[in-house]
Amino acid sequence: MSSPRDVVITGIGLVSSLGEGPDAHWQKLAQPGLQPVLEAARFAPYTIHPLPEIDWNLQIAKRGDQRQMETWQRLGTYSAGLALDDAGIKGNDELCATMDMVVAAGGGERDEAVDAAILAASESRNDRDVLLNEKLTTELRPTLFLAQLSNLLAGNISIVHKVTGSSRTFMGEEGAGVAAVETAAARICSGQSTHVLVGGAFQTEHSDMLLGYELAGYLHRGAWKPVWQRRGGEGGGVVTGSGGAFLVLEQREHAESRGRKIYAELGPVVSGRARRRLGELDGEIAALLSQAALPDGELLAMSGASGAHAATAAEKAAFDAHPAIAARAFSTLTGHMKEAQFPFAVALAALAVDRKAAYPAFDTTVEKPFGGVPRSVLATAIGYHQFEGMGLVKAA
Amino acid sequence: MANLNDHMGRPIVAVTGIGVVTSLGVGKADNWAALTSGKSGIHPITRFPVDHLNTRISGMVDFLPSSSQGSSPLTYELAETAAREAVAEAGLDSGDFGGPLFLASPPVELDWADRFSLYNSDKHDAGAERLLRVARALKELDIFETTQFGSIADRLADSFGTRGLPITLSTACASGATAIQLGVEAIRRGECDKALSIGADGSATAEALIRFSLLSALSTHNDIPEKASKPFSKDRDGFVLAEGSGALVLESLEAALARGATILGIMRGCGEKADDFHRTRSKPDGSPAIAAVRAALADAGLGEDQIDYVNAHGTSTPENDKMEHLSLSTVFGERIGSMPISSNKSMIGHTLSAAGAVEAAFSLMTMRESVIPPTINYDNPDPAIVLDVVPNKKRNAEVGTVLSNSFGFGGQNTCLVMAREPV
């Protein structure tokens, strides 16, 4: 039964190695046997899913604005623009000025050349702290700091797209994406917001972004494999991808009153923090599945599984215990997009609900076929290291 | 029987525990004594060499065990210390808090000390390639954890037994206020009856200092450190980088009264508005900051004439203090010249991600103690900024309501309205 304060999805902005926009993603992902776009040489021994060619001008009109950002912020600002366009909000001053925003963010790109030069010099110097001052004071580009600050993705979205109702940035890998969507939905349900821009971006084509995983040995090495099949392979199982995912969430009444197309309804969104060292992950995933108000019968699940061995095995075991769930681990085709992972999962779930068709198996050796029309689709993000979340996306 | 809901029918949110750490010391007692005697915590930098640096002073917290261990360990210890004080004051179980955690903390990066030690532990190839190869052979997670944006909150959640997925957030220099706002909103939505909101920042590294310095944001008045932070003065020349933490236990008034807790103050309202003008500068007409102040007043159900004191953002940068004056004089009109407005940053410097929480803690104490901390170093007033900044000496005054401002890079404007009594 619908209610005026339901949370509905009215805008989707997606970028990944597969292309940009909801239509391009749907067309690609609906093809059985789609092969991933891979880059195996640039960061060998790591394989990544690179960004597609993007004409930044299409969403970031001013060259000056583009210059103030590095790729991560451009990617997020661009994806946000796609979502706003899709929802018919872009360029509408009144809707933008009253729109709330919750961005899930990590940090931006460091200057690799400066860092490498400092590291090289450190081999022959004992006064490394002085070396640091010497190099950083003379070689850092002053405005680079702003391209690195976590909250400046949201800041750039305000500047470029004029979204100024409120601006909050959540940090913390996949959990930040989960909390961003959960908080945005809670604001709409409670009447605090009528429309919210929520999402994130991840730019993996930078050594520090790989280092963030590899300090704990999380990255997969060697030949590429689908997400569910990396156990026993060399490395930790994660293959990363560059991408962005933004959603426009809206109060049903607000969306209907301006006559917008509704992709799907969102809710409930649930989250948790298993103390994994104490073996709580299996129980936490089971608890989230029971809180997610799953419908009876066959259920499609857009899984944000990263490939990280322990977390991915736990998620797979939970699905195996629910024979009605047919999972689709989209990172097989996009790579893991960290903060953007959960918004991306929700977006793909909404597309399937809207198109009244399921995605074919992305990995036919593991994923089950799904024959029916998906009226509800589950979206998951079980963090590669910590934090868990799920959301149910339903026919509007 | 107290009214338990506010003017919009939402649960009233009370503060039942306060904790604070700044360069002035650990805990409310030491901080308050220093703050009300006009003492500065700004001092010469000793944590790292200052060769080649234009700014050689700060308000770093140098007296904790983690002070020399890097940003993540120090930020954790600052958060943990302030939260421990707040939860103890609230009389709650310090290992089983039972409500959500909202943590404002600085974005994390691999510390240079770790970069150097990883890099120099090997001799093969160079640059990022070497770092990645060394990284994947590490057997311990300690360094990894310092690079995960959610790890500090995860550890705090373990330590305090908070509920659910902890939220780590950044709204730059408004972060501490946003952490409080998120807690207030969660209670008002009925998601919980208590929340732990913390702002903590131990990220005053050489690189952080250099980054702000390259943006010309920092004071270079190195010679007399305690005089460098001079909000609203004519010769102010930038903020002083600092560290600290503030923590509040927020509870629905109903839950707090039901368990017989002491009510330390009320979070009356929160307001925010993003600025789309520029990455570091405010819109020249001040309209976003003005909108944030007005939104906070409206959320609190108070008129312009019902604010007794303003705890200013007051960073001591030429830009902030000018714009804050413009915004406040627009909202409060002629009354602005006679309202007490002081900046804690004159004594503790700018604690960045922690500032909103630290200053909310001091705002609540201002009301409880009926003493307004001064703006020190106010020897050379800016004639363009006519304000009663409570110059140089504390003032005894009954304060029933406070507006606390927080403004940050990226167009962040967040304001909190606090009150001494529920209605």
Asked if the Cβ–Cβ distance from A101 to B132 is below 8 Å, we say no
- Which pLDDT score is estimated for B327? 98
B52 is catalytic: no
Inspect the interface and report whether the beta carbons of A155 and B207 lie closer than 8 Å.
no
Within 10 Å of residue A390's Cβ, how many Cβ atoms? 27
Which residue among B51, B170, B275 sits closest to A171, beta carbon to beta carbon? B170
Residues A292-347 have pLDDT tens digits of: 999 999 999 999 999 999 999 999 999 999 999 999 999 999 999 999 999 999 99
Does the annotation count B173 as an active-site position? yes
Q: Does any domain span residue A2? A: no
Please tell me the distance in Å from A120's CA to the nearest CA on chain B. Answer: 7
Tens of each residue's pLDDT in chain B, 423 residues:
569 999 999 999 999 999 999 999 999 999 999 999 999 999 999 999 999 999 999 999 999 999 999 999 999 999 999 999 999 999 999 999 999 999 999 999 999 999 999 999 999 999 999 999 999 999 999 999 999 999 999 999 999 999 999 999 999 999 999 999 999 999 999 999 999 999 999 999 999 999 999 999 999 999 999 999 999 999 999 999 999 999 999 999 999 999 999 999 999 999 999 999 999 999 999 999 999 999 999 999 999 999 999 999 999 999 999 999 999 999 999 999 999 999 999 999 999 999 999 999 999 999 999 999 999 999 999 999 999 999 999 999 999 999 999 999 999 999 999 999 987
Domain holding A271: CATH number?
3.40.47.10
In a domain, A37, yes or no: yes
Q: How far is B376 from chain A (nearest CA, A)?
A: 30
For A174, the token pair is 């996949």
Residue pair B115/A135 in contact (Cβ under 8 Å)? The answer is no
In a domain, A56, yes or no: yes
Name which of A164, A174, A385 to mutate to probe chain B: the one with the most chain B Cβ atoms within 10 A of its Cβ: A164
**DSSP one-letter code for A165:** S
Residues B76/B66, Cβ–Cβ less than 8 Å? yes
What ipTM describes this predicted complex? Answer: 0.98
Q: A-B interface: how many C-beta pairs under 8 angstroms?
A: 241
A1 pLDDT above the threshold of 90? no
Nearest CA in chain A to B179: A168
Q: How confident is the model at residue A191 (pLDDT cuts 50, 70, 90)?
A: very high
Is the Cβ pair A164, B411 closer than 8 Å? yes
Per-residue b or e along B93-131, where b marks 16 or more CB atoms closer than 10 Å to that residue's CB: eeeebebbbbbbbbbbbbbbbbbbebbeeeeeeebbebb
Of B149, B164, B273, which has the smallest distance from its Cβ to A106's Cβ? B149
Least CB-CB distance to B165: which of A154, A171, A175? Answer: A175
* 8 A C-beta contact, residue B128 and residue B196: no
Q: Which of B165, B189, B274 sits opposite A273 (nearest CB)?
A: B165
Residue B423 pLDDT: 72
- A142, B185: Cβ pair inside 8 Å? no
User: Which residues lie below 8 Å from residue B86, measured CB to CB, with a gap of 6+?
Assistant: B17, B18, B19, B196, B247, B248, B249
Give the residue on A whose Cα is nearest the Cα of B150.
A172
Q: What's the gap in Å between the CA of B155 and the closest CA on chain A? A: 10
Whether A247 contacts A324, CB under 8 Å: no
Report the amino acid identity of residue B363: S
Domain region containing A236: 7-108+149-394
Nearest-CA residue of chain B relative to A42?
Answer: B129
> Using the beta-carbon criterion (under 8 Å), do A152 and B165 form an inter-chain contact?
no
Give A256-305 pLDDT, tens digit per residue. 999 999 999 999 999 999 999 999 999 999 999 999 999 999 999 999 99
User: Considering only CB atoms, which chain B residues are within 8 Å of A7?
Assistant: none
Q: Is residue A264 part of a domain?
A: yes
- Between CA A285 and CA A174 the distance in angstroms is 15
Contact yes or no for A239/A312 (Cβ under 8 A): no
Residues in chain B closer than 8 A to A147 (CB atoms):
none
Convert the pLDDT of each residue in A121-146 to its tens digit: 999 999 999 999 999 999 999 999 99
What string of DSSP letters covers B33-87? HHHHTT----EE--SS--TT-S--EEB---SSTTTTS-HHHHHHHHHHHHHHHHH
By CA distance, what is B56's nearest residue in A? A133
Q: Kindly determine whether residue A129 and residue B278, on different chains, have CB atoms separated by under 8 Å.
A: no
Instruction: List CB contacts (< 8 A) between B53 and chain A.
Output: 133, 137
Domain-embedded: residue A55:
yes
Judged by CB atoms closer than 8 Å, whether chains meet at B108 and A107 is answered as yes
- Annotated active-site residue B270? The verdict is no
For chain A, what is the domain count? 1
* Residue in A110, A115, A158 nearest the CB of B276: A158
Contact list, A151 vs chain B (CB under 8 Å) = 170-172, 408-410, 412
Query: What CA–CA distance (Å, rounded) separates B418 from A177?
Result: 31
- Closest by Cβ to A167, choosing from B107, B164, B274: B274
Residues in A closer than 8 angstroms to B156, CB to CB, are none
What DSSP assignment string belongs to B138-170? ---SHHHHHT-TTHHHHHHHHHHT--SSPEEEE
Contact B128 A173 (CB under 8 A): no
Q: Is residue A119 part of a domain?
A: no
Give a yes or no: residue A131 inside a domain: no
Residue A135 lies in a domain: no
Site of tokens 């799904």? A370
- The residue from B192, B270, B313, B325 that is catalytic is B313
A33 phi/psi in degrees, rounded to 5: 75, 20
- Catalytic choice (B173, B192, B270, B415): B173
| Radius of gyration for chain A, computed over Cα atoms and rounded to the nearest angstrom | 21
Name the active-site residue from B192, B221, B325, B350.
B350
Q: Which residues contact B242 (CB under 8 A, 6 or more apart)?
A: B22, B23, B41, B42, B58, B59, B60, B204, B345, B348, B349, B350, B351, B352
* pLDDT tens-digit readout, A211-226: 999 999 999 999 999 9
Asked if B169 and A170 come within 8 Å (Cβ–Cβ), the reply is: yes
The domains located in chain B, with CATH, are 13-108+148-419 (3.40.47.10), 115-144 (no CATH)
Q: Which residues of A touch B128 (CB under 8 A)?
A: 112, 115-116, 207-208, 211
The pLDDT of residue A86 is above 90: yes
- Minimum-distance CB partner of B127 among A119, A129, A149: A119
A2: pLDDT confidence band, cut at 50, 70 and 90? Answer: confident
